[in-house]
Amino acid sequence: MRAKIIGTGSCLPDRSATNDYLSTIMDTSDQWIHSRTGIHKRHLVSSEEETTLTLAVNAANAALEDAGILPAQLDLILVATVSSDFITPSTACMVQKALGACHATAFDINAACSGFLFALNTVDAYFQSGACQTALIIGVETLSKIIDWSDRSTCVLFGDGAGAVVAKASEEGMVASIQGSDGTGGDILICKNRTNNNPYIATGTDPGYLSMNGQEVFKFAVKKVPECIQSLLAQTGLCASDVTYYLLHQANYRIITSIARKLKLPIEKFPSNVERCGNTSAASIPILLDEVHKEGKLSEGDILLLSGFGAGLTWGAALLKW
């Protein structure tokens, strides 16, 4: 049995910050941000009531409603995030409690922007083994709390949000997937962000915000994502044009157009929300999938190719039948 997505949901914080707004609090401009990234605005949590958990639960409830599944029917909850509210309990366990999903096993996956794909692949593997039948997968981030707001080269890129899907074990759905990691590249996108309470080790005062070598990440993305896509297509014997939509991690519109060019495909096959949402890391692919689904663009039998890359370094792709 494979993972078939039967419902989607998403949640964005109420407040959005435009590039023009950011240019009032730092030395930047709409012209610079939009021309280099395609981003015009991003949603940011703006009160203590909006947390990683609340965004995740709202997205989850929308996905459950769309799927017609009750929380008690879930036997697995996976949350992909690098910005959980607590170290423990996991966000997945907190979601389980909030939903009352009393029969589900729940845990988090840390694979940064590839996290949703890693979680989807994990669910598919559980389904193939027969261990579970009904899963909730959430990608959620409140990166705004770990970003260095004095580093204009990173803080303008990211946004907060959550996307969720409900997957059911089925004869059809996931066709093939691929994923990988290269820890030797970990330094180019890194967030230490932990105070050390060990009595023998000085903690220092560095808050450990997210830092990034943007050009190296860019080069990695435009090489790795097309490689992933090509190898997945080769594995399945499909042509690039057989895919209805490519739902890529929304990091930068220039990365998306470069990938479309490399694959010699029209940009219309690459829906994008990066202009409105910025880079929401693990949440970006499920938010985009929810939008495309709710806009009525998907028909039964459509072939979707999801692919992403991120810190770790990590990358992945999944080809599935809608």
What is the set of active-site residues? 113, 249, 279
Min dist CB 311 to ligand UT7, Å, is: 7
Min dist CB 169 to ligand UT7, Å, is: 31
Distances (CA, A) of 122 to 109, 309, 310: 10, 17, 17
Cα angle vertex 66, ends 9, 159, to 5°? 5
Min dist CB 20 to ligand UT7, Å, is: 13
Min dist CB 252 to ligand UT7, Å, is: 4
Min dist CB 310 to ligand UT7, Å, is: 5
DSSP structure class, residue 42: E
Min dist CB 238 to ligand UT7, Å, is: 26
CB closest to ligand UT7, residue no: 214
Q: Choose between 135 and 138: whose C-beta lies nearer to ligand UT7.
A: 138
29 in Cβ contact with 23 (< 8 Å):
yes
Distance, CA of 21 to CA of 28 (rounded, Å)? 10
User: Under the rule (CB under 6 A), what is the footprint of ligand UT7?
Assistant: 28, 32-33, 36-37, 113, 152-153, 156, 212, 214-215, 217-218, 221, 251-252, 279, 310
Q: Choose between 157 and 165: whose C-beta lies nearer to ligand UT7.
A: 157
**Among 36, 281, 302, residue whose Cα is nearest residue 145:** 281
Burial 240-267 (b: 16+ CB within 10 A, else e): beebbbbbbbbbbbbbbebbbeebebee
Name the β-bridge partners of 304: 245, 320
Q: How many CB atoms lie within 10 A of CB 24?
A: 8
Distances (CA, A) of 124 to 127, 137, 166, 242, 268: 5, 11, 12, 22, 28
226 in Cβ contact with 265 (< 8 Å):
no
Q: Choose between 159 and 310: whose C-beta lies nearer to ligand UT7.
A: 310
84 in Cβ contact with 110 (< 8 Å):
no
* Tokens found for residue 233: 């297509």
Cis-peptide into 265, omega within 30 deg: no
